[in-house]
Amino acid sequence: MKYDRKLLLEDGSEYLGFGFGSRKDAVFEVVFNTSMTGYQEIISDPSYTDQAVVMAYPLIGNYGLANEDFESRITAPSALIVRTVSETPSNFRSISSLPEYLADADVPGIGGVDPRRLVRSLRDRGTQRGILTGADVPAAEGVRRILETPVQRDAVRRCSCKKRWYMRTSNPLYQVVAIDCGIKRNIVRELNRYHCNVTVVPYDTDSEVIMAMLPDGVFISNGPGDPEDVPEVVETLKKLRGRVPMFGICLGHQLLALSAGASTYKLKFGHRGGNHPVKDLRTGRIEITSQNHSYAVEEASLAGTGLAVTHINLLDGTVEGLRSERDRIMSVQYHPESAPGPRDSLHLFSQFTELMRKG
């Protein structure tokens, strides 16, 4: 079979393969995920907006897609890059194959590439931008198109909800307002499981509008892009600080740090996978976590912010958790709700409800 598609990186390196899904060209940031399963949750996670995801595991799509496993209503990545894609899934829950779903969602994919070579390149050289295009497109033309395509800075605006919505639970004990920067459904489901009624609001909702809902706590969600691109949320969190318990995950963790006066920086190639060891500095407990982020909080910048480091990543020592007992704030860089990934950290939702109970 003749190669018909090509992944081209901005350094000029080329990866020939076979197209599936949509046949359109796309420019994106290229990142990799080391998870062996969970591709459906990954492609429906809004945190991957404007990115092409390289799946390091060689076989993707073998169990198809199921209605219950979507993490949002959008197909977030700009492209999917795999070694082998299954067109005939085996799963009684499956409603579609992965290639069929991506074609309907107008998202291009490429198979037949060597993920080992590609992941090593991104790990060693750092995250790069790339383009998925026809196999016959010259490298110089592809690089020119990458450089001429501006980097978009409004990913949170595009994937946040446009109006508030609700998810109720039986016998609720707490009312939580969730600021949607690209929220995953399993976060809302876990809050429900811990006896929280949840009102999800757009990312740019004013602090006084939030307080008028009389929340017992405020949750700040995960989401895509640079945390400095959403100053509206940072200002909202500044005004909410000390008035109500707050819990942030992933982008929400970074935004809480920015609102306290700390700074963030971009990692060389980010953390994406389901096997990242994190240590709780308060208990000494080590948990295996699910992660998906490009940015991290600068530890040295936390001095004087009132936030204390509670968790660190054992692979590179980066900040993975923050807490302020005085202002009833807690945050983690990883995903305790999993989906996909290990469930070692679900107890954090219980800690959030304990903050609200004390409040």
Catalytic residues: 250, 335, 337
Q: Are 295 and 215 in contact (CB under 8 A)?
A: no
Sheet holding 196-202, edge to edge: 165-167, 196-202, 174-180, 217-220, 246-249, 329-332, 319-324, 308-313, 264-280, 286-297
Helices 185-193 and 347-358: crossing angle, nearest 10°? Answer: 60
Residues 6+ apart with CB under 8 A from 88: 97
Which tokens belong to 163? Answer: 């109006």
Residues 6+ apart with CB under 8 A from 144: none
Q: Are 196 and 174 in contact (CB under 8 A)?
A: yes
Q: Are 55 and 115 in contact (CB under 8 A)?
A: yes
Residues 6+ apart with CB under 8 A from 146: 8, 10, 27, 129, 130, 131
Place of tokens 């990186």: 9
Strand, helix or coil for residue 294: strand
Q: Pinpoint the alpha helices (H) of 48-163.
A: 98-104, 115-125, 139-148, 155-159
Peptide bond into 340 cis (omega under 30): yes
Q: What is the largest CA-CA distance in the chain?
A: 64
